[in-house]
Amino acid sequence: MRGNNEEHHARFFASFSLAISAVMGIAFASNMFTLFVFYEILTLSTYPLVAHKGTPEAIRGARTYLGILLGTSIGFQLLAVIWTYSITGTLDFTKGGILEGHIAGPAVAVLLALYAFGIGKAALMPFHRWLPAAMVAPTPVSALLHAVAVVKAGVFTMLKVGIYIFGIDFLAETGASEWLMWLAAYSIIAASVIAMTKDNLKARLAYSTISQLSYITLGMALATSMGALGGGMHIAMHAMGKITLFMAAGSIYVATHKTNISQMNGLGKIMPITYGAFFIGALSIIGLPPLGGSWSKWLLILGAADTGQWVMIGVLMVSSLLNVAYLLSIIGRGFFLPLPEGVPTKVTESPLLVWLPPAITAFGTLLLFFYAGVLQEFLMPIVSGY
């Protein structure tokens, strides 16, 4: 923030804190209504952050952001919540779901669609446009809110709905989530392909996020406890990996004011720490051991194998390959291509407080690999305890 001489600090930090507390509210909500309330507060409190710069571009981006998030949540999610309430009389999160016995037939799939599309923060295609639009925000906002808080609030809500409102067994019995699984698979592949075409680094990361979020939706839609577990794990794994990438992108911007990948030739040589962190984060997103991302992908593949969805295993594999293509090419450019003419070759890292955080989170992805068991035990009772 200060490094770029931005204005309106008070408004920025007030909205930021409000957004964080809204995320806490979502995390601690014990029923769907509370969750919905905080979900909306999160949307509204992040709007000033996205519109922060006040340029026409920022205003347009913020409009898309608000329009899609508020539009889907009021247009679909609110209806779904009221519908759920009117047929079951409760909105409490209950193990095994609350809908069983109250609804049957195609209506289940319709209700699931209202939820799935209503949770716009999960960026399921075709309601993903807000994520790249929100990239006009300052980098800390992109890193925290759009790699972690907002999108994770979305997929967290998605998992909550799948596990506690519908119930995994209910979803498996009715097969209502099968279409969602295919849609998630489509999102995974399509967003990765789009990411490859993006030259703007933040836009590429944004599409990568869309793709990765659909992993989690896929985990829920598989309707097995292994899949849901993988989805839950992936929330943490992806958060750690993606925040590393975003903060590294911010660090590059602060040091060189470059936003496009095609301008970043050879920067790895002068910013070794930033690029090193980016490399580790990228490997975790791709899902290579010994980094955290490998576990969640492993569990998701197991979940797909459980239900005999061989196509989904293929989708996850292809997606990994695409990740390699669009993430590692940045590293390749950074380390192996020569710097442009006239740029001094001595190390010019960004300020300490800018390069240190991505280095820490990169180390975090490594830790997550070794301590994944803790996380798994923590999540286990939620998905299989009934």
CB of 73 to other proteins, least distance (A): 9
CB of 167 to other proteins, least distance (A): 22
CB of 130 to other proteins, least distance (A): 14
225-256 helix and 150-160 helix, angle to the nearest 10 degrees: 180
Query: Which CB atom, from 42 or from 383, has the smaller least distance to other proteins?
Result: 42
Residue written as tokens 């026409």?
A: 56
Query: Which CB atom, from 83 or from 186, has the smaller least distance to other proteins?
Result: 83
CB of 74 to other proteins, least distance (A): 5
- Distance set, CA 30 to CA 33, 70, 97, 122, 207 (Å): 9, 22, 13, 20, 31
Neighbours of 67 (CB within 10 A): 14
Bridge partners, residue 200, by sequence = 260
Query: Which CB atom, from 89 or from 344, has the smaller least distance to other proteins?
Result: 89
Bridge partners, residue 92, by sequence = 31
Note whether 82 and 33 are within 8 A (CB): no
Note whether 230 and 162 are within 8 A (CB): no
Using alpha carbons, select from 81, 70, 213, 230 the residue that is nearest to residue 151. Answer: 213
Using alpha carbons, select from 313, 277, 278 the residue that is nearest to residue 297. Answer: 313
CB of 285 to other proteins, least distance (A): 34
Query: Which CB atom, from 63 or from 258, has the smaller least distance to other proteins?
Result: 63
Query: Which CB atom, from 63 or from 333, has the smaller least distance to other proteins?
Result: 63
CB of 79 to other proteins, least distance (A): 6
Q: Binding residues for other proteins, per CB under 8 A? A: 36-37, 40-41, 44, 48, 51, 54, 59, 63, 66-67, 70-71, 74-75, 78-79, 82-83, 85-86
The single-letter code of the amino acid at 338 is P
Query: Which CB atom, from 27 or from 82, has the smaller least distance to other proteins?
Result: 82
